[in-house]
Amino acid sequence: PNTLYDGYSIQQILEDTADNDQALSEQFTVTDEPSGLHVGDLPWLGCILRRFPALTDQQKVLPVASLLAEGPDGRCVAQLMADAYAGGDLQAWVRRYVALTLSVHLRLWLDYGIALESNQQNSMLVHSPGQALRLLFKDNDAPRLWPARLCSRLPSVAATVARLRDQRILVDNETPLLQMFTTITLQLNLAVILEGLSARGLGQITDWYQLLRGELLKVLDQLDGEGIDT
């Protein structure tokens, strides 16, 4: 049951963070999860009501977990997205996804002390005509937060941080943030996709990792230029 309450608290923290940071506000949004039910402390008897942002028929939302799935014509979903939104250029579309993912998660970690457990199921991509690709996060109940960094950067969230029930969320040094970023973002959401594309014969893995490395350095350079300690 704690996850029902903590998930909503993290939603509020992410919304406040995005409201305070134009770069983040343009790059991600979250589902609305203020409502749920549970019976006592029973871990198996409860539910959550999750509301997605209002979308038009022209927008497409897909979980990262679907990118390697086979589409109707035998090609993977990533190829279909490249056809629809990058003129058929798979590398260009993948670069866009990699850059967005790194930009959001590195800024959250290094500037705000937030590392999300936004795995392939909890991370979704939002395509909107004429707009940049965005991330949509759901089920945000198990991140790692460094309150000293977060609350010094954004004092308004201190009361929300104090309401968190699962104390495993709260950390007091850089290492757990690094571990979460590496395990979830870098490995599951990026490396697994690149390895899967290579396994399908869609590019050499060394080329994909070179792309990943280049985008990583690019984001770090940008954050450095803003005075964020990388």
pLDDT digits (tens, 9 = 90+) for 189-198: 999 999 999 9
pTM: 0.95
Those residues of the chain that have pLDDT short of 50 are: none
From 113, 109, 132, select the one nearest 185 (Cα to Cα).
109
Alpha-carbon span 70 to 90, nearest angstrom: 15
Alpha-carbon span 104 to 102, nearest angstrom: 6
Return the ∠ at Cα 31 (arms to 219 and 84), rounded to 5°.
Answer: 60
Q: Is-contact 60 180, C-beta < 8 A?
A: no
pLDDT digits (tens, 9 = 90+) for 75-112: 999 999 999 999 999 999 999 999 999 999 999 999 99
Alpha-carbon span 195 to 208, nearest angstrom: 8
Alpha-carbon span 78 to 3, nearest angstrom: 32
From 115, 168, 154, 116, select the one nearest 138 (Cα to Cα).
116
pLDDT digits (tens, 9 = 90+) for 166-179: 999 999 999 999 99
